[in-house]
Chain A
Amino acid sequence: MTTKNQQEIQIPECGYTLNTIYFYLTEGCNLKCRHCWIAPKFQSEDAEWPSLDFELFKDIVRQGKALGMRSVKLTGGEPLIHPDIDKILDYICEQDLQVTVETNGLKCTPEIAEKIAKGKNPFVSISLDGSEAAEHEWVRGVEGCFEAALEGVRNLVKVGIRPQLIMSVMKRNAHQLESIVRLAEKENVESVKYNLVTPTARGEQMHEQGETLSIEELVKLGEWVENTLQPSTKIRLQYSHPNAFKPLSKMFSRPQGKCGIFGIIGVLGSGKYALCGIGETVQKLVFGHAGTDKLADIWNNNKILHDIREGLPKKLNGICGDCLLKEECLGSCIAMNYYTHHDLFAPYWYCAEAAKAGIFPKTRIRPGSQYEKVI
């Protein structure tokens, strides 16, 4: 049974519109980032890895549109090394879909930038892990990739797209949080987002090897970014700590990036459907294959998707279960929580560590919670 909304988009049987598909277009990547949570294989002239078949991509898009999809995210691996990236961008434009591209920028040529710019409200983020080549290339593992990424930024700006820079914060580059803002101002980008290295895949090794910042350092840096660095620039800064650590004024005065987990599905380079890119490392979060399974069947009937819709946020446990902002936050990242604890409703690592260290903001804990006592 289906119902119709005002725009005559059919609401799927499960009651949830599929808003976006995250396409992890390639199994390979042309960089070797030491913190990557997906850990793709290194692609070079000597080694090429599979990527999503273009015909299959079109078929998935058609099926996604029937479930209400209005936007796509192209990510990876590295989306711009896909052999049919030109055709993929043209097709997205033809289908009038909003497009987000997450790239390392190396293959963001003037031609590709032009094509992205033709799309509907394009949003592009480029990874830059420092304001200098030494830091960025230490993280990314390939010489020359700093200048190449900056060239990608400039190609986008020339065609009218002001990209977002994404910096993954770790011990090695933590002293460059400010200088990257100055670089961003000079290059006329739209925003800088600071991602925290998560204990997933290669990021897990960095945590184990002590190359990441402690929870105390991360919380302090977050406060400094929000209260000191942000007022020093017109560029929008986004520090990716969970809601419990954001000032209310920031959360409610401007729209925040929120994981739209109820309206997203991932497609891996192999053509498999998954919760998101986590499907590359966690088999249980793979839902089927686009070559054999219908997207509508998965979207309406998959047990894990059903459990997430039923359980979030009320089944969240640990500190997330006792957090006053869980309705807004939804446990921050279910994929990561599952990776760590094999439980969809397990607490997010950042808040769990903060609670353990006694630095979780006490105004945001449910009265009577056991975590109140830790503080």
Chain B
Amino acid sequence: MSAVSRFPVANPMVIFREELDEWAVLFDPDANETFALDPTSVFIWKLLDGKHCKEDILTKLNEACNDTPEDAPQHLDEFLEELAGKSLIGVEK
């Protein structure tokens, strides 16, 4: 398991491109790998600026959606772990 930073920050090398349907393409030039982000993941990705902690992100998510599921914190943890596992966000050493 990767140790996700308290204030997660997106890997600056990763290319983020939003599309018309609010999904986005993430491209990691180092690994030459492409990922697709759904609209919720895009929302979170934009907050991975090293200034927002997980609680901030959850608060913003709650503000933006009327019906955030109860297990949103768990989903957020899993998502950040996944990003960290793929070196798409920084991890705590």
Contact = CB atoms under 8 A, between A and B. Distances in A.
Interface residues of B, number: 15
Interface stretch (A195-203, A299-307, A362-370): A362-370
A308 to B, nearest CB: 20
A364 B25 contact: yes
Interface string A333-375: 0000000000000000000000000000101101100000000
Given A324-B34, A325-B34, A367-B15, A248 B25 contact: yes
Interface in B1-26: 15, 17-21, 23-25
Interface string A250-285: 011100000000000000000000000000000000
A227 to B, nearest CB: 9
B34 A327 contact: yes
A247 B34 CA distance: 15
A249 interface: yes
Nearest to A252: B36
A363 B24 CA distance: 9
A367 B19 CA distance: 16
A247 B27 contact: no
B23 A249 contact: yes
B19 A251 contact: no
Pairs of residues from A and B, 8 with the lowest C-beta to C-beta distance, nearest first: A248-B23, A363-B17, A324-B34, A248-B36, A247-B21, A249-B21, A252-B36, A363-B25
Interface bracket on A: 10 to 19
A324 B16 CA distance: 12
B9 to A, nearest CB: 20
26 contacts: A247-B19, A247-B20, A247-B21, A248-B21, A248-B24, A248-B36, A248-B38, A249-B21, A249-B38, A251-B36, A252-B23, A252-B38, A253-B38, A324-B25, A324-B27, A324-B34, A325-B34, A327-B33, A327-B34, A361-B19, A363-B18, A363-B19, A363-B25, A366-B27, A367-B27, A367-B29
* A interface, over-half SS: helix
A327 B20 CA distance: 22
A248 B20 CA distance: 10
Interface string A289-327: 000000000000000000000000000000000001101
Given A249-B38, A363-B18, A364-B25, 20 more contacts: A247-B20, A247-B21, A247-B23, A248-B19, A248-B21, A248-B25, A249-B21, A249-B23, A252-B23, A324-B25, A324-B27, A324-B34, A327-B33, A361-B19, A363-B17, A363-B19, A366-B27, A367-B15, A367-B27, A367-B29
Interface in B32-59: 33-34, 36, 38
Contacts of B18: 363
A251 B37 CA distance: 11
Contacts of B20: 247
A245 to B, nearest CB: 12
A247 B24 CA distance: 10
A1 to B, nearest CB: 31
Contacts of A367: 15, 27, 29
Interface string A147-179: 000000000000000000000000000000000
